[in-house]
Amino acid sequence: MNVHAHIVPALGAIPLQKLAAEDLNTMYAALLEGGRRDGKGGLHPRTVAYIHMILKHALSDAVKWGAANRNPADAAEPPRVRARHQLKVWNADELRRFLRHVEKDRLYAAWLLSATTGARRGELLGLRWQDVDLDAATAAISQTLLSVGFKVSVGQPKTGRGCRQVALFDAAVQALRHHRTRMEAECAIRGVSLNNDAFIFTKEDGAPVHPDRFSELFDLHLKAAGLPRIRLHDLRHTHATLGLAAGIHPKIMSERLGHSSISITLDTYSHAIPGMQKEAAERMSALLFEKPLVPAETPLVAAK
């Protein structure tokens, strides 16, 4: 999405051999000033820095393949990104309280999937019935519902690995089966059938749930439940944090989240789990010192 929306319009007409760091810097400045597609200002420095990384990797490949003599991104000056704010997440008890609070809500299955898959808001709302296999307990994330200028459109996931298959909890499968039964009843009232290519989560009239409205509903629910204030996106962080703390391998969690690399997962979440370093030290200690480092000698058997 970033390639077609930002990189190609700014740099597509420049021959690869003539592309210079100055061209990249000019593009970065333009994106910071007015790069938003809705025309309401510039992109966040973190987004521009991410675009720089995309370019840097692509141009590095061009040098490797002999299509370019140098990588102009090496001399470019992308915006500096300030350190991330400390993540705000719920603990397991707080997440259970939230799920109990929304258990009777019409969109309960959406809240449950948001909490147990790590899907982004748009990825969740972009799910269609053809994307889930309830018998196999899997969901294929292949598109995202976007809000641009408050208009809803369908786009691609944030990263190349954003297209992924996620294993579903048993509770999520049950909630989706119940939700489908309700959706079929609502469609029958409107005199239509529930198509397999329809969005899973819609309003009662069948229209898509607007991403911004979904966030508003989340805020209303957590206030009513008296829970600590977090963003809807922080349910994704909560899923990752609780999963890693429970011992799920970072590689698996990275795949569930659709991160472009496992390093992003580790950089984002390792500091949010203070016990991981201590646990690692304890495991290494047990491996090295609580068991014999050299196997005990086998007693010699006297020859007959």
Q: Give pLDDT tens digits for 146-174.
A: 887 778 889 888 667 789 999 999 999 99
pLDDT, tens digit (0-9, with 9 covering 90-100), for 3-12: 888 898 999 8
Query: Which of 238, 267, 285 delimits the end of a domain?
Result: 238
Q: Which helix H or strand E contains 255, and what residues bound it? A: helix 250-257
User: In angstroms, how far is CA 165 from the centroid of its own chain?
Assistant: 12
Do 109 and 192 lie in a common domain? yes
Residues 45 and 131 reside in one and the same domain:
no
CA angle 127, 144, 195 (to 5 degrees): 35
* Claim to verify: residue 52 and residue 163 sit in the same structural domain: no
Assess whether 23 and 117 both reside in one domain: no
Q: What is the DSSP letter of 291?
A: S
Q: What is the CATH number of the domain that holds 103?
A: 1.10.443.10
Q: At 51, which CATH number? A: 1.10.150.130
Helix 108-117 to helix 211-225 angle (10° resolution) is: 90
User: What's the count of helices (H) and strands (E) in the chain, helices before strands?
Assistant: 13, 5
CA distance 227 to 217: 14
With a CB cutoff of 8 Å and minimum separation 6, the contacts of 146 are 122, 152, 153, 154, 155, 211
Round to whole Å and give the CA distance between 256 and 234: 15
Q: Residue 38 is part of which domain span?
A: 2-74
Residue 181 placed within a domain: yes
Q: Which run of H or of E encompasses 144? A: strand 144-148
Quickly state the pLDDT bin for 83 (edges 50, 70, 90): low
pLDDT band, very low/low/confident/very high, at 85 (cuts 50, 70, 90): low
Domain ends where: 210, 238, 266? 238
**55, 193: one domain:** no
For residues 138 and 32, membership in a common domain is answered with: no
